[in-house]
Structure 1
Amino acid sequence: MSETDLNPSTLEDQIGINQLYSRYTHAIDDFDQQGWLDTFAEDGVFDIDGTAVRGRDQLSVWFSQFEDYSQKSMRHYISNIGISVDGTTAAGRAYLIVLNVSNGQLAATGTYLDSLSKSDGKWRFEHRELCTDAKAEA
């Protein structure tokens, strides 16, 4: 990171994006559909291994299929977050680990590749791509 990356507005944006990542994972684990939808732009895209869902209506339908999911005690952990801010847009990358805390089994790992935008003072995902690299029965 260069010294020019450390200006106060960039630091504020990076904190805001880190908070976005946290809200996203908490919303999934708490089965908070509206909270999860609010992390995406209105026409946001969520792409898992090449299967994309676009817009809040489709995202809502996709999320609803996991109604019993919260009963499985899954926890999503995001780490090694890298963020590059350019005004009101940003690119992000992070590792994902999904753990079934009821049995201690690893459910999945992967990498998020994100395009983000800031509107009305809030950062949201324009395009969130998840590239999984391990799956296990949890």
Structure 2
Amino acid sequence: MALSVEDQLAIQQLYAKYNHAIDSGDGVAWAASFTPDATFVSASGTFTGTEALTGFGNSLARRFKLRHWTNNLVLEGSAGEATGSCYLVLYRLTPGEQPPASILTTAIYHDELARGADGAWLFTKRAAVGDS
């Protein structure tokens, strides 16, 4: 069975909440978008489990002021599991400077998702594959 419209909307909200959490430096909320044993892979390293994910989410905001912009989301799956992919443009903010933002990198996210214990969609694996 294909993903329902409700599941697709719930997953879109997960993607948006993920971006808002990481950009605001809320590592706890960012890690909550993953299952407890999930893995995130990026140029910064591989982080597995809630504690490692929370630490990465908190540390990123201390190093940079960022805005994650994602689009062209493609989802496939069923009622319990899904895969997703979207483009990422990662902006580095430099308030008070001109221009106030510049592109830090571009990438494609490759995602695996599942329903958590409460039925909400969560990432089980997320890999950011840079374009450079």
TM-score, normalised to structure 2, is 0.86
Q: Does 1:83 align with 2:64?
A: no
- Give the whole-Å Cα distance in 2 for the aligned partners of 1:78 and 1:41: 21
Match of 2:119 among 108, 118, 121: 121
- Return the offset for 1:54: 0.9
Matches within 5 A, 1:41-120: 41-49=35-43, 51-69=45-63, 72-102=64-94, 103-119=100-116, 120=118
- Give the whole-Å Cα distance in 2 for the aligned partners of 1:60 and 1:77: 21
Runs (4+) of structure 1 exceeding 4 A deviation are: none
For the 8 Å contact 1:20–1:124, the answer to whether it is kept is: yes
Letter paired with 1:75: R
Distance 1:100 1:49, change over 3 A: closer
In the other structure, the counterpart of 2:34 is 40
Letter paired with 1:73: K
Q: Which runs of 5+ in 1 are unaligned?
A: none
For the 8 Å contact 1:14–1:85, the answer to whether it is kept is: no
Tell me how large the CA RMSD over aligned residues is.
1.9
For the 8 Å contact 1:13–1:85, the answer to whether it is kept is: no
For the 8 Å contact 2:22–2:61, the answer to whether it is kept is: no
- Give the whole-Å Cα distance in 1 for the aligned partners of 2:20 and 2:4: 24
Q: Does 1:20 align with 2:10?
A: no
For the 8 Å contact 2:41–2:127, the answer to whether it is kept is: yes
For the 8 Å contact 2:75–2:83, the answer to whether it is kept is: yes
- Return the offset for 1:73: 3.5
In the other structure, the counterpart of 1:11 is 5
Number of positions where the alignment pairs a residue of Structure 1 with one of Structure 2: 126
- Return the offset for 1:85: 2.2
Secondary structure class of the residue paired with 1:53: strand
Q: Which runs of 5+ in 2 are unaligned?
A: 95-99
